[in-house]
Each structure stands twice: as structure tokens, then as C-alpha cells.
Amino acid sequence: MLKKVRGDRKEAKLSQIRFKDKYVAIQELHQNEGLSVSLLCEIAGIARSAYYKWLNRTPSSRELLNEEIIKEMKILHEKVDGIFGYRQMTLHMNRKFEEELNHKRIYRLMKMAGLRSVIRVKKKQYKRSTPQHVAENILDREFTAEKPNEKWVTDVTEFKYGQSKKAYLSAIRDLYDGSIVSYVLGHSNNNQLVFKTLDQAIVL
């Protein structure tokens, strides 16, 4: 029985480590963007109970230090207009905290916090093309409606979670009262996602 309890605790601890990036992403999106925890857990493929268990845990001294490092890195990143890569950031963090922080640790924390050197960002070259079809500007910036279902607008929002995964939320909003007529969550941003959202709205 004792072995089983120890085994369960070990498995729970490994699970927290394995899904840490997802937990952090859910926490930041919920706090900064106001997105639903249930929705984010569904996208990340984890149970809400597991997320809340991680959220209510007692942070280790290393985790607390990581939070302080990320906080200082964000301040410095903004101060230098994002020109520091992880090597320069490591030098400054070592001076700031007066200890030898590994550059791999700083690189991982920068990635977790979404901090990237602007020098390393290369813009993709796109060839200009003539659109095959240009929709008529029916709204003409008149974003109000006198009755329900008179004017609908749609948009697709991209969410990043985990190491490099993406999810897309397609929604249709009624300009009469701002209510969401329908929404569909998918892992590909394509016409099928938008058509599915429209089909759902028409059925409703």
C-alpha cells in the first residue's frame, strides 16, 4: 500500500513537470487575455483538476527564483527594446542576481516568457499577388444594426500552447447586441473552420 502511495505521488510530480509549459501557458492566457480556463484546458488536452492542482501547489525555491528572473528579464527586454539575445541576457541576470545562472536556463525562461531578440527575427519574403476575388464592401464601416441577425461579422483568433502547438477559434458576432452567434475551435486555420462556424450559426 505504501509503495502504491509513493508511486502515485511520483507519477503526479512527473505529470506536473511534463505539462508545466501547458500549465504556464493556460495561466498567462487566462490572466492576460481573460480566456476561459475550461477552453484552454480543452485546447491543451489536460484535465481542469490537474491544472488547478498545479496552480495551488507550493512553489519550490527554484520556481520562485525563476519567476523573479522572468520579471527582471521582461523589464530589461523592454528597456533595451528587445535587442538582447539569451547570451547577453545571461550576463545581465548573473550580475543582477549575483550568481552563476546557466545560459540554457535563461534561454528556456526567455522562451517561456515569449522574449525574443528582435535582431534574430527575419521577415519572410512574400510575393505580391493579384487576388482572384475581392468582396464588395457592404458594411462600409457601419458597424451597427437595428435588429438581430441583420449584420454578422467573423474573425479567427490564434492561440499558442505547449511547446509549438496552435489552436484557432472561429467566431461569428451579431452587430446588433455584440452577442456570439456561434464559435468553433480547431487546429487548422482554413476555409473548413469558417464554413463550419457559419453552418453552426445557420442551424442555430
Take residue 23 and report the three cell numbers written for it: 500549465
- pLDDT-derived band at 35 (thresholds 50, 70, 90) equals confident
Q: State residue 2's pLDDT score.
A: 44
Q: State residue 125's pLDDT score.
A: 67
Q: State residue 178's pLDDT score.
A: 84
Q: State residue 177's pLDDT score.
A: 85
pLDDT exceeding 90 applies to what percent of the chain?
Answer: 19
As a whole number of angstroms, the distance between CA 165 and CA 124 comes to: 20
Q: Which residue has the higher pLDDT, 7 or 180?
A: 180
As a whole number of angstroms, the distance between CA 90 and CA 101 comes to: 7
Q: State residue 148's pLDDT score.
A: 87
Q: State residue 137's pLDDT score.
A: 76
- pLDDT-derived band at 30 (thresholds 50, 70, 90) equals confident
170-180 mean pLDDT: 87
Biggest CA-to-CA distance, the chain: 71
Nearest to 184 by CA among 175, 174, 193, 192: 193
SS (H, E, C) 126-184: CCCCCCCCCCCCCCCCCCCCCCCCCCEEEEEEEEEECCCEEEEEEEEEECCCCCEEEEE
Instruction: Please tell me the pTM assigned to this model.
Output: 0.40
Helix (H) or strand (E) holding 186: strand 180-186
As a whole number of angstroms, the distance between CA 141 and CA 199 comes to: 25
Residue type, 191: N
140-149 mean pLDDT: 83
77-100 mean pLDDT: 91
Q: Which residue has the higher pLDDT, 134 or 77?
A: 77
Q: Nearest 5°: phi and psi at 164?
A: -150, 30
85 has pLDDT over 70 = yes
As a whole number of angstroms, the distance between CA 69 and CA 62 comes to: 10
Q: Which residue has the higher pLDDT, 163 or 121?
A: 163
